[in-house]
Amino acid sequence: METGSTDIFLSRAAEFFSLQYDFALYALLAAVLVGVICGLVGTFMVLRGMSLVGDAAGHATLPGVAIAFLLTGTKSAPALLLGALVSAVLGAMTITWISRGPRVRADAAIGIVLSTFFGLGIVLLSYIQASPTGQQAGLSEYLFGNAAAVTPAQIGVVALAGAVLVVLVGIFYRPLSLMVFDERFAQSLGLPTHWLELGLMSALAVAVVLSIQAVGVILVAAMLIIPPSAARFLSKKLPGVMVASVVMGGVSGALGAMLSYVYEGVATGPAMVLVAVFFFALALGFGPVGGALPRALRRRRARQRAMPGGAR
Amino acid sequence: MSAGDALTIQHLNLSYGAERVVEDVNVKLKPGSLVGIVGPNGAGKSTLIKAIAGAKEPDSGTITICGEEGRRGRRHLTYVPQRGEVDWDFPITAEEVVRQGRFAHVGLLRRFRGDDKAAVTDALQAVAMTALKHRQIGELSGGQQQRVFLARALAQGGEVFLMDEPFAGVDAATEKAIVEVLRALRDAGKTVVVVHHDLVTVSDYFDELVLLNRTIIAQGPTAEVFTPDNMRETYGGNLAIFDRRDAVAVVE
C-alpha cells in the first residue's frame, strides 16, 4: 500500500474510533454486541455440531422480515424483529420435523429449509422492492447488514438481550456444558436435557434475530461459527474457548464496522466476517492448541529427544 | 422385593417404535455384588442400560434403585457411558471431566468445597491419572480416557454403578486397573453392573451374571449360570463352546 493511502486509511480509522459522529458510535456498539452474542451462543452450537442450524435459522428470518413489512407497511424494528423470530423458529421446527424419518438426514433437511425460506424471502423482497413504498424501505440492508442503520433503541434491545443471555449461560453453565459434552451422562444425573436443548435453540434464534440488522441474514452464521472455531485453537478448556470466542467476535465486530466506515459502500456483515476469518487463519497457524506451527515445533522437539545428539 | 435390594427391575418392556427389543425383564441385585450383563449383539443390553440410566422411557415395568423409582432412584445411580458416545475433541481436560462427577452435588452455582475437591483428587489417584490431569481428553489413549470416565464415577459416588462396556478398546494394563477399582467398589458394599462382551474373562471378573437375549435367559452366581447349556441358549448357534476340565471356555 502507498504511504498516502495508508495515511488516509489511518486517519479515517481514527476518525471512526474517535466516535465524534453518533452513527459511528451506534455502528460500533451494534457490531461489537453482535460479535459478542454470536461468539457466546456459537461456542455451544459449534461444539454440539449444530453450526449449520444457525445458518438455516439466519436465512429463514428473511421471509419473516418481509411479511412483517408487508403487514405493517413500515420498517418498525419491533415488528420486523418479531417477524424474523417467528420465521426463524418455524424454520428450526421444520428442520426437526422433516428430518424425523429415516429418509431425510439432518444436513439435507437443513439445506432444504435454508433454501426454501431464503428463496421465499427473496421473492417477497423483490415484490416489496418493486412497489412504490418498498423502494425507500431499504430492506435489502437485511441481506448483508448495515450496522450504521441500527437505531439507539435497537442497540438497547440488543444490549439487554445480550446481558440476559450472558446471565443465563452463567447460571446454566454446568448443565449446558455437560449436555453438550456427554448427553447420556447428563440424563443419568436427571438433567432435563430436552429443555436445555430447547433453551439452546431459543438462544440461537434470539442471537440470529438480534444480529441480522448489523450482519445480514446471509452471513450471520459466519459470526456464529468462525470465532468459536478459531477459539478452539486457543484454549483446551471450555471457559477459555468461550472467552476467546467472545473477544474475537467483539473485535471482529469493531474492526468490521470500522472497515465498513472507511470504505464507503462496503456492508458491515462481509467486513466483520473477513476480519473474523483473518483471526481464524491466525489461530489455525499459530494457535497453541493444535495450531500448525506449535504442532510442528512439538514434533521436532519430540524427534530431537528421541535421538539425542543426532539432531542436525 | 426385600428392602435391601440395590437394583430391582420388574416386568420391564422396552421397544423402538413398534419393535419390542426387551421383553419382561426381571432382575434383582444385592448390595456388594459385581455383576456382568452378557448377551449377543442386538440382545437389548444397551437399551436396558439406557432405561436404567433414564435415557429411555419403558413401555411398562418398574426400575427401582435403592428402594426408589424414577428420578429419585437414579440419584443413587452412577453411570459410565460407552467411550464412543462422547466427543473426544471437546475442549476439556481430564480433571474437568472428573469434576463433572460432582455436578450433581454442587448444583448450578455452588462453588467446589474442600470435600468436592478431595473427591476429585482421590478419584484421579485411584485410577492413576493424577499426572495427566491437565491433558485435554483427546490427547489421552483409549485406556486413559476410560480411566477418566471411571474417575468421574468415583468422584460422583453413589450406590449402584452402571458401566457400558468399560473394557472395549482399552489396553491390558487399564483393564486390570479397572477391574481392581470395580472389586474395591464391590468390597465397599456397592453394586457394580457391567455390560461385558468378552466371554473369556467373564468367570474371572464377575460374581454374578445376567444372561440377556431380549429377555433374561438366566441369572445368578457365575459358577451356576455360566454353563454350556445357558450360553448356547443365550447366543444361539453362533458360539463355540469348549469344556475344559472343570471350567467352561466360550468363544463367540
* CA pair distance B34, B218, nearest whole angstrom: 16
A6-36 confidence digits (pLDDT tens)? 888 888 888 888 877 888 888 899 999 999 9
Q: Contacts of residue B136 in chain A, CB cutoff 8 Å?
A: 236, 289
Q: What is the pLDDT of residue B1?
A: 44
Q: A171, A177, A184: which to substitute to probe chain B, counting the most B Cβ within 10 Å?
A: A184
Cα Rg, chain A, nearest whole Å: 21
**What are the domain boundaries of chain A?**
3-306
Minimal Cα distance from A242: which residue of B? B91
Residue B200 · residue B250 · CB < 8 Å:
yes
Q: What is the mean pLDDT of residues B50-76?
A: 86
Per CATH, which fold does A3-306 belong to? ABC transporter involved in vitamin B12 uptake, BtuC (1.10.3470)
Q: Which of A49, A178, A232 sits opposite B91 (nearest CB)?
A: A232
CB of B25 within 8 A of CB of B215?
yes
Give the domains, in start order, of chain B with CATH numbers: 7-250 (3.40.50.300)
Residues of A in contact with B152 (CB under 8 A): 185
Give the ipTM of the model, two decimals please.
0.83
Contact between A200 and A46 (Cβ < 8 Å): no
Q: Label residue B63 left, alpha or beta by phi (over 0 means left) and psi (-120 to 50 means alpha).
A: beta
Q: Name the residue type at position B25.
A: V
Q: At what angle do helices A22-47 and A220-231 cross, to 10 degrees?
A: 60
Q: Which residues contact B101 (CB under 8 A, 6 or more apart)?
A: B78, B119, B120, B123, B151, B152, B153, B154, B155, B156, B157
Is B90 within 8 Å of A241 when comparing Cβ atoms?
Answer: no
Q: What is the pTM of this model?
A: 0.85
Residue B79 has pLDDT above 70, yes or no: yes
**For B199-244, how does the pLDDT look when each residue is reduced to its tens digit (9 = 90+)?**
888 888 899 999 988 888 888 898 888 888 888 888 876 666 555 4
| Residue among A183, A184, A235 minimizing CB distance to B91 | A235
Q: Minimal CA–CA distance to A143: which of A46, A197, A257, A66? A: A66
Higher pLDDT, A252 or B39: A252
Per-residue pLDDT, A93: 87
SS (H, E, C) A9-56: HHHHHHHHHCCCCHHHHHHHHHHHHHHHHHHHHHHHHHHCCCHHHHHH
Of B81, B108, B162, the CB nearest to A171: B108
User: Would you mind telling me the total number of residues written for chain B in this entry?
Assistant: 252
Length of chain A, in residues: 312
Residue A279 has what pLDDT? 96
Q: What angle do CA A300, A306, A308 make, to 5 degrees?
A: 95
What would the grid cell of residue B238 be? 453362533
Nearest chain A alpha carbon to B163? A185
Whole-angstrom distance, CA of residue B204 vs CA of residue B209: 12
- Interface residues of A toward B, Cβ cutoff 8 Å, are 47, 49, 171-172, 174-175, 178, 180-185, 187-190, 232, 235-238, 240-241, 289
Is the pLDDT confidence value at B246 over 50?
A: no
Average pLDDT per 10 consecutive residues for chain A, totaling 312 residues = 74 83 87 94 92 90 91 80 91 86 86 94 89 69 83 88 93 92 87 88 90 89 95 94 96 93 87 95 93 89 75 45
For chain B, what is the radius of gyration of the CA atoms? 18
Provide the pLDDT for residue B251: 55
